[in-house]
Chains A and B, each alone.
Chain A
Amino acid sequence: MSEKQYKLVKCIINGKAQEAIVDVRASLTDMLRNDYRMTSVKKGCEVGECGACNVIIDGECYNSCIYLAVWADGKEIKTLEGLMGPNGELSDIQQAFIDEAAVQCGFCTPGVIMSAVEILDSGKIYKREELRKLLAGHLCRCTGYQNILNAVEKTMYQRLGKELPDYLESR
């Protein structure tokens, strides 16, 4: 076996400048979970097929399991741990997941919420079918996706200050 190889990775994680010497073999999932104890970043398949490890890097969502930790150097990363306000206030999308019963076992939840954050932060309005496509990088075995979709869609309308369509009101 060759000598182990390390690299200093400096990045911003949830708004805070961080640096760590990282084994170049590490995935970003490994770095976030092991070096920073960001355990919201879940391992469901480790090959980019389930979305449980999804985080936001420079404004776009990535499966951190198939993203080398060294690539995070100079990047701005957001995980679920960064969503709560300084006094413990939940973000609107987290609250919506609670209110809509969009959470069951909770294992896919952190990843899905981060995709929802990217969608909602775009400030755009999407049709329900478009939201399905934008969330389709996540597998969930508990919810049938129904309440997750409701949570994201309702939050979208609320952020945009628009009235909910009838089909969401009645749910």
Chain B
Amino acid sequence: MSQIKPESSSGSYWRSFSDRENGPEFRKFLFNEFQKGASVLEDGITRRSFLKLMGASAALAGVAGCSIRKPVQKLRPYAKRPEDYIPGKPVYYATAMQVGSDVVGILAESQEGRPTKLEGNPAHSMSWGGLKSYHQAAVLDLYDPDRVFYPMFQGENSDWGHYETWLTGLLSSMAAVRGEGACLLVDSQVSPTFSRLLLELKKTYPALRIFQHDGLHSNCQAEGIQLATGHAMVPQYQFEKADIIVSFGSDFLGVEPNNVSYTRSFSERRDPESGEMNRLYAFENHLTITGSKADHRIRVKASQIEPAAWVVASALIRQAGAGSLSASIVGAIHGAADHYRFLVDAKVVQAIVSDLLSHRGRSLVVAGTQCAPTVHALVYALNQILGNAFQTVVYRAAESSEESLRHLSDLLSKGSVKQLFIVGGNPVYNAPVSLKFAEKLKKASAIIHLTHAENETSQLAQWVLPCSHFLESWGDLKAVNGSVSIVQPLIQPLYNSRSSAEFLSGLLGKADTSYNLVRATWKATESAWKKWLHNGVVSGPASALPVAPVSDHGFSDALNKQARSLGKASGIEIVFPISYSLLDGRFANNGWLQELPDPITKLVWDNAALISEKTAVQLSLKTEDIILIKHNGFELKVPVFVAPGQADESISISLGYGRTVVGRVGKGTGSNGYTLWDGAAYITSAQVKKTGRVYHLATTQNHGSMEGRAIIREATLETYKKHPNFAKEMIETAPLESLWKERVYDKGYQWGMSIDLSRCTGCSACITACQSENNIPIVGKKQAMNGRVMHWIRLDRYFEGDVDHARVAYQPVTCLHCENAPCEQVCPVAATVHSEEGLNDMVYNRCVGTRYCSNNCPVKVRRFNFFDYHQRNPQSVKKERKHLFDYMRQPDLDIQKQFNPDVTVRMRGVMEKCTYCVQRINEARINSKLEEVQLVDGDVVTACQQSCPAGAILFGNILDPSSKVSKAKGRSREYHLLEELHLKPRTTYLASIRNPHPSLVSVVEAAHHE
């Protein structure tokens, strides 16, 4: 090695000719390495000039530091990729969700370990792939920054260690007295594991008392059927088999248990091409989405729904005989009905009775879960007479329910409750008002509340413990039909929370994890367990109970009593429906649900006192007037909303609003109906006073009439059969031509959508599905009042006919993806352009925000970001200032985890609109290319289509003649919205068909043409 001597470059190698020449010029160049303009410090530098230079550079460095440079942030890539994990590819897990006692199967989308979206599990018999808005919005609750983060003791932050030490002391004293004085209050529990633990608890502490309270739970059905049979049973309806449905105050499409599966099975029969259409008669107080789908809606006030049922039952029994009904019952029914014959038009009664009788075994009578037990007993009897049991309705044993809140309340007032453990729920907010539960709660010596977020109840608790979200913990749920699903978590608890089962295990003195607890319940083999997790279903529906004959278990007495008490009902009634979005207030801090328009009133961010026009005139009230309602010494101030279809002398106030202890989103929204509610569906003889003040309400649709335009096209089944092309014929146009040469779309995939207005129930699940899929911000009440709601899909709702008997029609409207899109022509920067696959694409980066496209959009589906709405969310946070140009706020860091990474988060100043879920189309296309196959029907499912419980939305390739969407588009009742504009929309509608009774058709038609 030593022989080889590296030669210096200046030796033999030369860099240039001047180097080789090595003249004085070059030597000078080598010395002055930095040429012109660069000064080199000479030796003669003074201390003074050095300091000057240093000072200047320090100052400049300061300037640079505060504005341009970002601090170093380290990225940590996976050193080893987890198995089956492909960055950017979402993974779906089957799980299940419980709302009240209602269970739905869910497929949860996980993006890099973060659950981002919930979809219905098609394999689950209670969801069939569909979900309602509140199910889908539950994912937002997971990331809610207003959750309880850690255990809190007497309002101070604490930890589980402290709690456990405290609990150990408590448990030993409890054990000493066998649990005497200890009470446990749970909300609806349908988890086998939880039930198992409750049993264990009872064994450990025999004197422990367990109570149950849930704002969504009503025991009336089971009680009613017990009156008629002696067995506590609950019905499960099979609408798919029912030709004639009579509903007494039931909102089975709305928020009653099983509404997802009911919506699916009901809607299957609203499609005139796929079999015989059903016919729905609905008796109801205020317009519900069930009533809006009814072929005959009979408006009666809440206290008269039961008398209406008597009238129908009495007429039916007279014509069909009493079947196995005892004479006492029959007598009671006739006796009760006699005073109320005026309630329902005899023609209508006759139509219902003849329809029911001609469809024995294929008809169905249902009653609202909130209705009195006698109604349920009567309905049971009617279904029995009609032979519907086991045909259109099956019965299963009611889950044995624990003691009710009233008993707990009694115990509390006696002062005999020492420790009260509350698992979930919010009884202080939603207990019947006469219980004065909050006051009584103060008598308990220790209250331990396991809760998702702080609420009215946790405020009174000594210990507030964070409860895990269902996406954070293991569990199991049994649906009303007996099918069981495993609740599979998608993420470790974000905060220091425990599931309700883990909490109970703690009370047993153990510290089992939720996983072990569930595994212990099911004792499954590994392969069976994996299969359950994969499918999301452990077992299918349990078999139904045999039909119990109607026998008088206090039925006739109850009926007579009810007839007497209803006879005295007078004055203005206040009815308390469960809110379509917030339910019993459990979702009050959920922005998506607060901003989800009520299907009927289109109110957002508030509830209101719905009142009929006639009653409003009588009380000289108008929309937005604040009224004071007094009843039994309780009172409530609430703004009025004049609502079509509302019964006279009746005021409906949605529950779930007006929460006082709630997070930042739910603060100051609506009025609390629970301050009047006393456990029953309605109260009578309320005093209503005008206060003279006004409260402004926000609605997303201000105009409810179609103005005689052929927007939603509708006909009766009879008309449709005679004129199958009626929808197309409603508009006459001259041959239309485009100003430009029209592009031909005849190759590749051409996407299109078909929306069946006959199936659509207006439930608005699609809005939330779209919102969670597409990172759509909420805008808040003030912005909503100014028409700036950002939803890409909206549910247009129109009323027809006279105000009292208004018929309702819904139309989901989203970007129609017109082939001749008017928006595209006017955009000066070509930010909205057509794709080869027929999509009207929006290029956010290119958008300048002139809003011309929106002006030229005939259906006004474009949404403009007037502000940066994500930043203005009440839960947004100040951004850590890393450099000068950092925005001042950003979405909460946890909420950001919900964002769909496949969809751009739009900034202020750009236009946005429905993309047909282009991210899903692209993903499917890429996958198909990798697999070298063609996309087939069903490979691309848009978010709205996926969630729609009614199956009203179809999407696919319209060039594929076998696709569902092209078949739907080929139907005779297909029509184009605003066809006269020659838009050539890709989204088309199927006209709505109603099926009124022929003898009543003139009534309907008259109303139609009014």
Task: Report if A and B associate in a common complex.
Answer: no
Which B residues form the contact surface with A (CB < 8 A)?
none
